[in-house]
Homo-oligomer: A and B are copies of this chain.
């Protein structure tokens, strides 16, 4: 991935350009800063937290599936600072310092997301 650019944007562009509709994502690297989200299960809304510091991406787990007929990237991450302390959650955005992402592309019918009334999230049918 390119240094100094946004992580999800880069990965989404790759997924679109390669026409990937279903995949498993993993990765590791470092970011200049990141924004992570925590889903408030009662209020049914994301609370975003901006982490304005250089961090290692100690874990990145995610998938690609369809939302409104288009490839959609869903990523969770664990980020670690210079003391090893960890911050985790839904990855909203992050600026790449250096990053190695791997996609396992899946064949067959891609899973599709639709709004789930109980959780307020777009989940797989």
Contact = CB atoms under 8 A, between A and B. Distances in A.
Interface of A: 3, 24, 26-28, 30, 32, 36-42, 47, 49, 51, 54, 56-63, 74-90, 97-98, 100, 102, 104, 116, 118-119, 121, 123-124
A58 B59 contact: yes
Contact of A78 (B59, B75, B82, B116): B59
A75 B57 CA distance: 11
A58 B78 contact: yes
A3 B41 CA distance: 12
Which interface residue of A54, A98, A124 has the most chain B CB atoms within 10 A? A98
A73 to B, nearest CB: 12
Given A88-B56, A89-B56, A83 B49 contact: yes
A80 B38 contact: yes
A59 B76 contact: yes
A78 B59 CA distance: 7
Contacts of A38: 56, 80-84
Which interface residue of A62, A78, A104, A123 has the most chain B CB atoms within 10 A? A78
